[in-house]
Structure 1
Amino acid sequence: MRAVALGGGHGLHATLTALRRITRAVTAVVTVADDGGSSGRLRRELGLLPPGDLRQAFAAFAAEDGGRLWAEVFQHRFGGDGALAGHAVGNLLLAGLFEVLGDPVAALDEASGLMGISGRVLPMSPEPLEIEGEVSGLDSEDPDAIRRIRGQVAVASTPGQVHRITLHPAGRQERPPRGCAEAIEAVLEADVVFLGPGSWFTSVLPHVLVPDLHDALVRTTATKVVVLNLVPQPGETGGFSPERHLDVLFEHAPALRVDAVVADRDSVPDPASLRRAAERLGARACLGAVADPVVAGRHDPGALAQCMREALGLGGEHCG
């Protein structure tokens, strides 16, 4: 079964970790709009794709393929207060491959071979992208006034309420972003496609705002599954219900239809409302106990894999 997972950061890490328990043929399609931390520094200084979310995908694959040392090294950050302080080893390695090979897809494929992993990691676009958000609640005199803020970090950490985002190449607002050809091909040839969990406005929704990637998601014959977050994210989705996440997805991609929505049963106060919201996307809701019982706010990989199986019609009674 050929699976594609779209997202970024810890959310994509969770999806990949669970998916590898179902199939070995997994491709990660990763957001490239990060402008903070180590990724932001490398992006600004070298003009490269921000490597942080790509690094997270590699770490997930390495941990599941038995390369736990590689996963740990890739995630290791240098300490101290020098030029390397805060940089992750994986970010620097990927940046070096980007510069030497000059082709981000070739560089990522080379990294897969170097780490001995069977999964493939692809960027959603071959160029760094920039997010702009329409946000209310930033004006004390007029709380309903909409302000535009720019950058992934600004959108993710805003104290206001995000209503909508747009996406464009960095410094090129006059044209839409280009999709990665290999990522588009992977979506079109997939048997199953997963979207989410993750930071909704900065890791999940950007994928449906790349026009040719959006078109591939609409056209693919793959079974499409949305995995919801366990809790709202302060700033981005503070106060959002699970069904509001789906409504926002529909507002940004009204032509998109999905087959199933996976959510944690204990994170859904009103299952009937979620089921109705899922039906508006053409989907059925699959609710199960998929939260990690030890680490708050994190999915349990085994339980999530079981619920994914049920959502795909592969058997199991973990979700309902």
Structure 2
Amino acid sequence: MGAPGHAPSAGPDGAAVRPPRMVAFGGGHGLAAALAAWRRITPDLTAVVTVADDGGSSGRIRREMPVLPPGDLRMALTALAGDDADTRRMAALLQHRLGGSGVLAGHPVGNLVLTGLVEMHGGDTVRALDDVCRLLGARGRVLPMADVPLDLVAQVESTDPDDPARARTIRGQVAIATTPGRVREILLSPADPPVHPDVLDAIATADVVSLGPGSWYTSVLPHLLVPRLRDALAASRARVVVVLNLEPQPGETDGFSPEEHLFVLQSHLGGVALHTVIADEASVVDRRGLLSAVRECGAELVLAPVAEDRGVPRHDPVRLAGALREALRSVVAARQGMEIGERVPQPLVPGPVREGDEGNAAHGAW
């Protein structure tokens, strides 16, 4: 489902061309950042969202109702909302958290709206999401990564210096994200959940698939743990783009370098091929090490200034869109008749790091 009213543009020979078909995997603020960038490039955009959240409003709702946790789905929907004043106002309403101290306190309005629509549609989450997409004039579509709520189960290293080899079994997204110690292994329960056919169709017809940024163990990797998703990605002809985080996440990836994030991701890929890795140039200390890790994955590295300038660890959507266009160049070369959309000034988008240019990165620390 593309943007309402979008029509293909004409190529140099006057023939109609289509925009790239894009699928973005993730959850929470990381996926919202990716969608804010991708929507500047294509209206043919599908967000596939994690459904393992068990904290806050989403946790309360999934414990009380037979529905998927709505929070990450809501954030993806509002990230794709149209640009006119009415739809932006509606997006702000869906994001608004109710105040007070009663039973509704802390619930975002959008979580309740989604839950109500799912109930109205007899439990059909995808119909409810499509309804909200139309309500928001969304530039794309939002789908859940599985048709049932998921639980994350992790083996976390002990922080006891006298028994460092001992691991603890931690269950639940919030508990995993806040438990000290490195994650050794992450699993899903159920291990082989059902996946909506529309998700598999989106992957099969995609030109580009993106993973990240976001909470590595609880928002990014879970997609690769779903057998049907991983198999669909392995069979797809889409280019796979990974957007690395700007810094480690406290409690989940403490002390991780960009290379370690990539190694962990690679260990979960199965038969999925990586093609491009995007990293913020100021966040990389060991450029040579990252380039080596990227090459080991068989991918190319795009280093670009993709962070905001305000000193907060947040991706700038315009700059990230520029780096994503760099990643799309190989797609355009391989498949004629695709448009790339609006341009970003070239200084924002340095080319891929190439052999002989692996020296020290720009100032900044991971």
Please give the range of the TM-score, normalised by the shorter of the 2 chains: over 0.9
How far does residue 295 in structure 1 lie from its aligned partner after superposition?
Answer: 5.2
How far does residue 178 in structure 1 lie from its aligned partner after superposition?
Answer: 2.2
Q: 1:139 to 1:63 in 2, by over 3 A?
A: farther
How far does residue 118 in structure 1 lie from its aligned partner after superposition?
Answer: 3.4
Whole-angstrom distance in 1 between the partners of 2:161 and 2:187 = 24
Secondary structure of the 2:80 match is helix
How far does residue 140 in structure 1 lie from its aligned partner after superposition?
Answer: 5.6
In the alignment, is residue 133 of structure 1 matched against residue 154 of structure 2? yes
Secondary structure of the 1:78 match is coil
Contact 2:39–2:139 (8 Å) recurs in 1:
no
Whole-angstrom distance in 1 between the partners of 2:313 and 2:180 = 20
Whole-angstrom distance in 2 between the partners of 1:242 and 1:28 = 24
Whole-angstrom distance in 1 between the partners of 2:292 and 2:203 = 27
Secondary structure of the 2:101 match is coil
Give the alignment partner of residue 118 of structure 1, picking from 139, 143, 152: 139
How far does residue 122 in structure 1 lie from its aligned partner after superposition?
Answer: 0.1
Give the alignment partner of residue 60 of structure 1, picking from 38, 57, 79: 79
> Structure 1: 5+ residue runs without aligned partners?
170-174
Secondary structure of the 2:142 match is strand
Q: 1:125 to 1:167 in 2, by over 3 A?
A: same
Secondary structure of the 1:165 match is strand
The 5 Å alignment of 1:60-99 reads: 60-62=79-81, 64=83, 67-99=87-119
Contact 1:179–1:212 (8 Å) recurs in 2:
yes
The 5 Å alignment of 1:7-26 reads: 7-26=26-45
Contact 1:20–1:64 (8 Å) recurs in 2:
no
How far does residue 65 in structure 1 lie from its aligned partner after superposition?
Answer: 6.3
**Max radius of gyration: which structure?**
2
Question: Which residue is equivalent to 1:33?
Answer: 52
Question: Which residue is equivalent to 2:234?
Answer: 218
RMSD: 1.5
Contact 1:5–1:12 (8 Å) recurs in 2:
yes
Whole-angstrom distance in 2 between the partners of 1:142 and 1:6 = 37
Whole-angstrom distance in 2 between the partners of 1:185 and 1:278 = 29
Contact 2:230–2:270 (8 Å) recurs in 1:
no
Q: Choose 223-232 or 55-64, whichever is displaced more.
A: 55-64
Contact 2:82–2:137 (8 Å) recurs in 1:
no
In the alignment, is residue 251 of structure 1 matched against residue 267 of structure 2? yes
> Structure 2: 5+ residue runs without aligned partners?
1-19, 330-339, 352-366
Secondary structure of the 1:121 match is strand
The 5 Å alignment of 1:161-172 reads: 161-169=182-190
Code of the residue aligned with 1:49 in structure 2: it is L
Code of the residue aligned with 1:91 in structure 2: it is N
Whole-angstrom distance in 2 between the partners of 1:62 and 1:295 = 27
Contact 2:78–2:136 (8 Å) recurs in 1:
no
Whole-angstrom distance in 1 between the partners of 2:99 and 2:297 = 46
Percent identity over the alignment? Answer: 55
Contact 2:147–2:193 (8 Å) recurs in 1:
no
Q: Choose 11-20 or 290-299, whichever is displaced more.
A: 290-299
Whole-angstrom distance in 2 between the partners of 1:198 and 1:63 = 23
Code of the residue aligned with 1:2 in structure 2: it is R
Q: 1:249 to 1:82 in 2, by over 3 A?
A: same
Q: Choose 15-24 or 130-139, whichever is displaced more.
A: 130-139
Code of the residue aligned with 1:71 in structure 2: it is A
Whole-angstrom distance in 2 between the partners of 1:225 and 1:240 = 20
How far does residue 59 in structure 1 lie from its aligned partner after superposition?
Answer: 1.0
In the alignment, is residue 143 of structure 1 matched against residue 164 of structure 2? yes
Question: Which residue is equivalent to 1:172?
Answer: none
Q: Choose 66-75 or 279-288, whichever is displaced more.
A: 66-75
How far does residue 72 in structure 1 lie from its aligned partner after superposition?
Answer: 1.0
Question: Which residue is equivalent to 1:48?
Answer: 67
Question: Which residue is equivalent to 2:350?
Answer: 319
Code of the residue aligned with 2:186 in structure 1: it is I
Higher helix share: 1
Whole-angstrom distance in 2 between the partners of 1:65 and 1:274 = 41
Code of the residue aligned with 2:145 in structure 1: it is M
TM-score, structure 2 as length reference: 0.83
Contact 1:278–1:285 (8 Å) recurs in 2:
yes
Contact 1:17–1:64 (8 Å) recurs in 2:
no
In the alignment, is residue 291 of structure 1 matched against residue 307 of structure 2? yes
Whole-angstrom distance in 2 between the partners of 1:300 and 1:93 = 29
Whole-angstrom distance in 2 between the partners of 1:69 and 1:270 = 43
Whole-angstrom distance in 1 between the partners of 2:104 and 2:65 = 15
